[in-house]
């Protein structure tokens, strides 16, 4: 007995007994396979209570009665399972999914996925009905178009093309609200790109038009203008330019706004970027000095826009994955020349005003009017001010009004800026230091200094302080404290301890000989305490007595020295003050004082130091009535301490009185 080619139905052979059996078997097979409909697909185990005539598609990995029958049609007939091997092209309806399946010789697939071409459809509706106006209609929530990858035989690109017949026609995308137009994007009546909006679907206006023609008198290709339909030219550091994007207007609305509204710390941005790539959207490493972008400012002179200033970022080194070394540069024009660099903020955070930002040293801010390179700032310097050559470098503080108070304020504390702690005794609060240039460089430390110092450990209510003044002596490079003003107001000169006002350690001398007085008739010293000169320190406990003044020594000096009347060769000085131009040559004048000597006018009575010394030499005595201004120089000026001649005169007078008493006694007895 043989079977049919496709369904393997048994033929009826000649002289075959019981032909009805063979015929009925073929009918059962036809009943199972013709108009094939299966309850489900990919079934891996036989249903527990199958219905008579029920059919299923066996899935891979089937077990039990379905084992080894993957992809076969399982039919439950006459209480037993029969399996039919599908042929390529068989179709079946999957009842559980409502799908028509197609067997491709290997597996059962949704027949809808196997349809590759639909040509010349007159209408197509997806989820809705198409009509003669909307031949293609779709009613859905999402649609996806994705590019065919090169691995699938495509290019990886996706281009959605809309074509119109002529320039005067329209090709666009229309956006509607309840079937009433609100926005339209496309070419509306010309070949420019229009962004149109409407509030009612009837009245439309162009919100934005992008010209498609290079060299068009209204706009470069791809540009846009807000507030006008014509482009405007302006000026920049590189000359005239017509920006592709413009906002024009006559009021404050002629502005650009970038705003961000979000519940976080981030703000809106305007981005500028620079690449040396040869074409748009390509990369080429920037070089030092490249302009990375900026804001250019210009004003009209009545004819054209003239460049007035620029704020720009300039590459200060090669870019890395961490960023591009950059300085911010501020350029302005004074109207006589093109804008020039006035201020810079460097990649190291340093700022230069009137000069390039400091690249060496520690100055965070350099303010300079010098056309040359400013000297490297001293270590620890935060602000450096450099004047022009042959001119003063000034730092000016001004205030006006009744409550005005121009101040230079110093603050100090221990700890850190984030967590300051109290000043401790001896901690410097602030100061001024002066440095100078030597033979080869600036001094390593200040050669004059004024410092304010905490006199105690500070609290909120106890904050004592004192001031110290330092200078460097000629011929040395050693800074030493010369004057200290204590918290009490006491002034210590030449020493750092004491309580009197003032306390002096060293000689106190006037700046010119015989030119100044100490006190005056209406402002006299109450007491003058001294070890020599006019003696007020005469307590025996302060002195070691060497010997008593002898009458012979006293008589010798009195007999040898004759007092004189004299005038001082220099009786004083005449002072003259006049204003002379300041060395800064900026139009200012400073007072300059000069002194001229004049001879003495009045006659004085006194002694000659050389004669006193000669008398002392004759008597063989030496004491503090006479001395040399410089004890090591015998030719230096000689001086007298007349107060020390009083004991000589006193003893000479005592001797005279003794002799007079003797004479009186002699006369009385004769």
Answer whether residue 351 is part of any domain.
yes
Q: Check if the beta carbon of residue 464 is closer than 8 Å to that of residue 490.
A: no
User: At which residue do the structure tokens 């006293």 appear?
Assistant: 554
In this predicted structure, what is the pLDDT of residue 6?
Answer: 57
Across 222-234, average pLDDT? 79
Do 310 and 183 share a structural domain?
A: yes
**Secondary structure of 50-109 in the HEC alphabet?**
CCCCCEEEECCCCCHHHCCCCCCEEEEECCEEEEECCCCCCEEEECCCCEEEEECCCCEE
Do 220 and 300 share a structural domain?
A: yes
Do 298 and 191 share a structural domain?
A: yes
Do 208 and 110 share a structural domain?
A: no
The pair of three-digit structure tokens given for residue 158, joined into one six-digit string: 């996706």
**Secondary structure of 487-529 in the HEC alphabet?**
CCCCEEECCCCCCCCCEECCCCCCCCCCCCCCCECCECCCCCC
Answer whether residue 317 is part of any domain.
yes
In this predicted structure, what is the pLDDT of residue 301?
Answer: 92
Q: Which residue has the higher pLDDT, 260 or 582?
A: 260
Q: Which CATH number goes with the domain that contains 660?
A: 1.10.10.10
Do 647 and 562 share a structural domain?
A: yes
Do 191 and 110 share a structural domain?
A: no
Do 192 and 110 share a structural domain?
A: no
In this predicted structure, what is the pLDDT of residue 23?
Answer: 66
Q: Which residue has the higher pLDDT, 441 or 668?
A: 441
Q: How far apart, in whole angstroms, are the C-alpha atoms of residue 237 and residue 595?
A: 60
Please write the tens of the pLDDT for every residue from 476-492.
998 999 999 999 888 88
Please state the domain count of the chain. 3
Q: Which residue has the higher pLDDT, 203 or 16?
A: 203
Please write the tens of the pLDDT for every residue from 568-579.
888 877 777 777
Please write the tens of the pLDDT for every residue from 293-343.
999 999 999 999 999 999 999 999 999 999 999 999 999 999 999 999 999
Residue ranges of alpha helices (H) inside 158-301 are none
CA-CA-CA-CA torsion sign (222, 226, 229, 235): negative
Please write the tens of the pLDDT for every residue from 419-428.
999 999 999 9
In this predicted structure, what is the pLDDT of residue 7?
Answer: 63
425-431 contacts, C-beta under 8 A, 24 or more apart: 425/454, 425/455, 425/456, 425/457, 426/453, 426/454, 427/453, 427/454, 428/452, 428/453, 428/454, 429/453, 429/454, 429/465
Answer whether residue 52 is part of any domain.
yes
Task: Identify the domain boundary among 386, 410, 439.
Answer: 386
DSSP secondary structure, 599-656, as one string: ---S-EEE--HHHHHHHHHHHT---TTEEESSTT-TTSPEEE-GGGTHHHHHHHHHHH
Residue 502, preceding bond cis, omega within 30 degrees?
Answer: yes
In this model, does residue 586 exceed pLDDT 60?
no
Do 318 and 236 share a structural domain?
A: yes
At residue 647, φ and ψ (nearest 5 deg) are: -60, -35
Lowest mean pLDDT among 10-19, 26-35, 354-363, 509-518: 10-19
Q: How far apart, in whole angstroms, are the C-alpha atoms of residue 212 and residue 69?
A: 65
CA atoms within 13 A on the CB side of 666: 6
Residue 347 buriedness (CB in 10 A; 0-12 / 13-18 / 19+): middle
Q: Which pLDDT band holds residue 272 (cuts at 50, 70, 90)?
A: very high
Q: How far apart, in whole angstroms, are the C-alpha atoms of residue 638 and residue 631?
A: 10
pTM of the predicted model, to two decimals? 0.52
Task: Identify the domain boundary among 355, 386, 417.
Answer: 386
Do 319 and 219 share a structural domain?
A: yes
Reduced to 3 states, what is the DSSP secondary structure of residue 379?
Answer: coil
Range of the domain at 284: 172-248+271-386
In this model, does residue 281 exceed pLDDT 80?
yes
In this predicted structure, what is the pLDDT of residue 70?
Answer: 94
In this predicted structure, what is the pLDDT of residue 522?
Answer: 74
Across 446-470, average pLDDT? 95
Reduced to 3 states, what is the DSSP secondary structure of residue 575?
Answer: strand
Answer whether residue 614 is part of any domain.
yes
Answer whether residue 589 is part of any domain.
no
In this model, does residue 532 exceed pLDDT 70?
no
Q: Check if the beta carbon of residue 363 is closer than 8 Å to that of residue 350.
A: yes
Torsion of CA 552, 556, 559, 561, to 10 degrees: -140
In this predicted structure, what is the pLDDT of residue 282?
Answer: 94
The pair of three-digit structure tokens given for residue 289, joined into one six-digit string: 């000095």
Answer whether residue 404 is part of any domain.
no
Q: How far apart, in whole angstroms, are the C-alpha atoms of residue 575 and residue 595?
A: 5
In this model, does residue 218 exceed pLDDT 60?
no
Backbone torsion region of residue 521, taken as left when φ is above 0, otherwise alpha when ψ lies between -120 and 50, otherwise beta: alpha
| Share of residues in the chain with pLDDT > 90 (%) | 43
User: At which residue do the structure tokens 């405007």 appear?
Assistant: 232
The pair of three-digit structure tokens given for residue 602, joined into one six-digit string: 């009045």
Across 454-470, average pLDDT? 95
Do 212 and 75 share a structural domain?
A: no
Answer whether residue 585 is part of any domain.
no
Task: Identify the domain boundary among 386, 415, 438.
Answer: 386
Q: What is the mean pLDDT of the chain?
A: 86
DSSP secondary structure, 116-156, as one string: ----S-S-EEESS---SSSSEEE--S-----PPPGGGTS-S
Q: Which residue has the higher pLDDT, 536 or 515?
A: 515
Q: How far apart, in whole angstroms, are the C-alpha atoms of residue 366 and residue 376?
A: 10
Do 192 and 79 share a structural domain?
A: no
Q: How far apart, in whole angstroms, are the C-alpha atoms of residue 498 and residue 560?
A: 46
Q: Which pLDDT band holds residue 186 (cuts at 50, 70, 90)?
A: very high
In this predicted structure, what is the pLDDT of residue 216?
Answer: 52
Q: Which pLDDT band holds residue 32 (cuts at 50, 70, 90)?
A: low
| Share of residues in the chain with pLDDT > 70 (%) | 90
Q: How far apart, in whole angstroms, are the C-alpha atoms of residue 297 and residue 307?
A: 6
Q: In what order do the strands lie in the sheet with 351-353?
A: 291-300, 305-315, 326-332, 340-345, 351-353, 365-368, 383-386
Q: Check if the beta carbon of residue 186 is closer than 8 Å to that of residue 193.
A: yes
Do 381 and 233 share a structural domain?
A: yes
Q: Which pLDDT band holds residue 115 (cuts at 50, 70, 90)?
A: low
Answer whether residue 507 is part of any domain.
no
Q: How far apart, in whole angstroms, are the C-alpha atoms of residue 306 and residue 333?
A: 10
Q: How far apart, in whole angstroms, are the C-alpha atoms of residue 603 and residue 566?
A: 5
């Amino acid at each position: 007995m043989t079977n049919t080619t496709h369904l393997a139905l048994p033929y009826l052979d000649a002289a075959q007994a019981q032909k009805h059996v063979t015929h009925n078997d073929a009918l059962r097979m036809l009943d199972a396979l013709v108009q094939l409909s299966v309850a489900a697909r990919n079934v891996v185990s036989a249903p527990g209570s199958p219905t008579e005539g029920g059919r299923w598609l066996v899935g891979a990995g089937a077990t039990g009665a379905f084992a080894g029958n993957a992809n076969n049609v399982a039919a439950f007939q006459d209480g037993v399972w029969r399996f039919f091997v599908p042929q390529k092209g068989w179709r079946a309806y999957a009842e559980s999914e409502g799908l028509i399946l197609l067997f491709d010789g290997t597996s059962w697939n949704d027949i809808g996925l196997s349809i590759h071409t639909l040509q010349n459809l007159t209408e197509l509706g997806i989820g809705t009905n198409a009509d003669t106006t909307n031949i293609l209609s779709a009613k859905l929530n999402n649609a996806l178009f994705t590019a065919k990858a090169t691995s699938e035989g495509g290019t990886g690109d996706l281009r959605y093309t809309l074509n119109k017949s002529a320039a005067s026609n329209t090709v666009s995308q229309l956006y509607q609200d309840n079937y009433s137009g609100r926005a339209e994007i496309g070419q509306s009546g010309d070949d420019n790109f229009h962004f149109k909006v409407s509030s009612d679907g009837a009245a439309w206006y162009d919100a934005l038009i992008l010209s498609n023609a290079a060299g068009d008198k209204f706009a470069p290709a791809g540009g846009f203008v807000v507030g006008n339909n014509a482009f405007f030219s302006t000026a920049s550091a590189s000359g005239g330019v017509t920006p592709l994007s413009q906002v024009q207007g006559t009021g404050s609305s002629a502005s650009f706004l970038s705003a961000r509204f979000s519940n976080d710390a981030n703000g809106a941005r305007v981005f500028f970027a620079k690449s040396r790539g040869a074409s748009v959207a390509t990369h080429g490493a920037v070089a030092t000095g490249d302009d990375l972008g900026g804001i250019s400012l210009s004003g009209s002179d009545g004819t054209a826009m003239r460049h007035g200033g620029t704020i720009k970022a300039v590459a200060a080194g090669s870019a890395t994955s961490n960023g591009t070394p950059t300085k911010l540069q501020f350029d302005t024009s004074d109207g006589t020349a093109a804008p020039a660099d006035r201020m810079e903020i460097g990649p190291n955070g340093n700022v230069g005003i009137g000069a390039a930002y400091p690249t060496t040293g520690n100055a965070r801010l350099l303010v300079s009017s010098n056309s040359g390179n400013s000297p490297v700032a001293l270590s620890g310097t935060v602000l450096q001010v450099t004047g022009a050559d042959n001119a003063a470098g000034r730092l000016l503080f001004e205030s006006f009004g009744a409550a005005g108070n121009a101040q230079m304020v110093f603050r100090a504390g221990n700890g850190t800026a984030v967590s300051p702690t109290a000043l401790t005794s001896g901690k410097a609060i602030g100061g001024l230091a002066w440095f100078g240039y030597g033979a080869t460089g600036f001094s390593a430390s200040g050669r004059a200094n004024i410092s304010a110092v905490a006199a105690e450990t500070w609290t909120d209510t106890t904050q004592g302080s004192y001031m110290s003044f330092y200078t460097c002596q000629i011929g040395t490079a050693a800074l030493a404290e010369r004057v200290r003003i204590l918290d009490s107001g006491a002034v210590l000169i030449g020493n750092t301890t004491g309580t009197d006002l003032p306390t002096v350690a060293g000689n106190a001398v006037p700046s010119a000989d015989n030119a100044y007085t100490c006190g005056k008739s209406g402002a006299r010293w109450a007491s003058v305490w001294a070890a020599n000169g006019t003696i007020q320190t005469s307590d025996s406990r302060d002195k070691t007595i060497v010997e008593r003044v002898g009458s012979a020594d006293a008589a010798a000096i009195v007999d040898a020295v004759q007092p004189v009347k004299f005038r001082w060769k220099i009786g004083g000085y005449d002072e003259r003050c006049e204003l002379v131009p300041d060395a800064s040559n900026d139009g200012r004048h400073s007072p300059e004082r000069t002194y001229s000597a004049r001879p003495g006018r009045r006659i004085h009575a006194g002694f000659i130091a050389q004669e006193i010394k000669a008398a002392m030499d004759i008597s063989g005595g030496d004491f503090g009535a006479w001395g040399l201004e410089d004890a090591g120089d015998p030719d230096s000026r000689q001086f007298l301490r007349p107060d020390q001649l009083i004991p000589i005169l006193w003893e000479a007078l005592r001797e005279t009185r003794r002799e007079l008493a003797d004479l009186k006694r002699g006369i009385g007895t004769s």
